[in-house]
């Protein structure tokens, strides 16, 4: 079995620099990482790269498929999303509540699943990889990988900063996904 652990980046400011609180969260999360890892991958976004560095890794492979949720495919559904957000739901949970966005979320989840499978294929048997990605990207992966509805995996709360999932793979397929909360 191979394991790929995906973690959300930490809190950042408008310049994509990590905030002091974000650095504290990353330090706390670093203690929960199951080191050592055989591979490290990261989204191309600055906030993800800086989070990986805060985890103590400075040579992670940049993988575009772990990038943040692309905005254009979701644009037609934003009015409905905003209305749902106004009821108090967090951003990701609200996207999963927009039924019209389901196919776009599935496509995003499949993109990330492919990347996870490719990362796992490069690991030794029983190998482990750490990935830093984004909230709104990790959740669709888990939904697609498990073939289960969002609420049955995450409840009614998106992943917080530095939270994520641990995916176990056998024979090139995801066989288990566990949510990692801080």
Torsion, Cα 174 25 152 136, to 10 degrees, reads: -70
Q: Is the peptide bond before 36 cis (omega within 30 degrees of 0)?
A: yes
Task: For residue range 142-166, list pLDDT tens digits in order.
Answer: 999 999 999 999 999 999 999 999 9
> Taking all residues of the chain, what is their mean pLDDT, rounded to a whole number?
97
Residue 91 pLDDT grade (very low, low, confident, very high; cuts 50, 70, 90): very high
Segment 124-136 mean pLDDT: 97
Task: For residue range 7-30, list pLDDT tens digits in order.
Answer: 999 999 999 999 999 999 999 999
CATH superfamily of domain region 2-70+99-180: Phosphoglycerate mutase-like (3.40.50.1240)
The residue behind tokens 């495919």 is 73
Segment 93-117 mean pLDDT: 97
| Domains of the chain, residue spans | 2-70+99-180
Q: What is the pLDDT of residue 48?
A: 98
Residue 107 pLDDT grade (very low, low, confident, very high; cuts 50, 70, 90): very high
Structure pTM? Answer: 0.96
């Amino acid at each position: 079995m191979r394991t790929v652990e995906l973690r959300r980046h930490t809190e950042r400011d408008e310049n994509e620099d990590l905030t002091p609180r974000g650095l504290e969260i990353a330090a706390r999360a670093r203690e929960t990482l199951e080191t050592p890892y055989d591979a490290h991958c990261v989204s191309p976004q600055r906030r993800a790269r800086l989070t990986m560095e805060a985890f103590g890794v400075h040579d992670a492979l940049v993988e575009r498929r772990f990038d943040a949720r692309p905005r254009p495919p979701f644009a037609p559904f934003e009015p409905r999303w905003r209305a749902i957000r106004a009821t108090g739901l967090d951003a990701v949970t609200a996207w999963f509540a927009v039924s019209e966005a389901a196919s776009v979320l599935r496509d995003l989840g499949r993109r990330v699943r492919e990347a996870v499978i490719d990362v796992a294929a490069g690991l030794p048997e029983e190998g482990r990889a750490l990935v830093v990605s984004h909230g709104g990207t990790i959740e669709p992966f888990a939904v697609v990988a498990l073939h289960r509805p969002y609420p049955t995996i995450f409840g009614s709360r998106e992943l917080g900063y530095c939270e994520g999932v641990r995916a176990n793979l056998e024979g090139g397929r995801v066989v288990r996904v566990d949510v990692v909360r801080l």
